Amino acid sequence: MRLEDQLDKLAELGLALAAGRAVDELLYSWPREAYEHKPFDLVLFALGCAVEDEPWERWFCDRAWHFDTECVRGRGSYVAIARQLCRIAGLPDALSGLRDHVDLGSEEAWIEYTADGRRVNWPIEVRDDWADLMVVGYLIDELEHGDRRFHVRHNGQAMTLFFLDDEAAARLNELAGGQAVAPFPG
């Protein structure tokens, strides 16, 4: 299936290329044949990535994020995770006053934020540089609204998260020929 046809079908499900993104930028990272060999496989991964060319921090899709769970380097790591989750939920200001403390040496960590007028502080289990998926689940719970929620496509130590309604996720699974995404465990 042509890459452009895959993108059209994904856009119908709410996974459109972000404004200003183009097929040529996808082709900068992988050849067309790689996208078209197994339809929806590589493109679902790519939609969660940033463009691999300057200027940086331009995402291919506003409702997807490729989350490498081995990403905790120190202070700011969980703030960055929370901001990405807010971005793909389309709620950039849903978690305000974000702060975290991550000390890998002493194995002490926490994240703090305000959501719906509540100040929240979660302790974080430190396991080397791996993200605490329980805390990620708490952040996700704050952001899911209406009939849209986070769905995950696993990729080894990483995952691509998508913000979809259940109907779109079911249609995506049909298009991809199997269990392409599942609700984020929580």
pLDDT tens per residue across span 32-82: 999 999 999 999 999 999 999 888 889 999 999 999 999 999 999 999 999
What does the alpha-carbon distance between residue 151 and residue 64 come to, in Å, rounded to a whole number?
9
Kindly tell me if the per-residue pLDDT of 177 is higher than 90: no
Kindly tell me if the per-residue pLDDT of 122 is higher than 70: yes
pLDDT of residue 186: 59
- The residues near 135 (Cβ < 8 Å, ≥ 6 apart) are 78, 111, 122, 124, 125
Q: Stretch 86-107: mean pLDDT, rounded?
A: 97
The chain-wide mean pLDDT, for the chain, equals: 95
Where residue 156 falls among pLDDT bands split at 50, 70, 90? Answer: confident
Residue 54 has which token pair? 């300057």
pLDDT of residue 86: 98
Rounded to two decimals, the pTM is 0.94
Which of helix, strand or coil describes residue 83? helix
Host H or E run for residue 136: helix 133-143
Q: Stretch 13-36: mean pLDDT, rounded?
A: 97
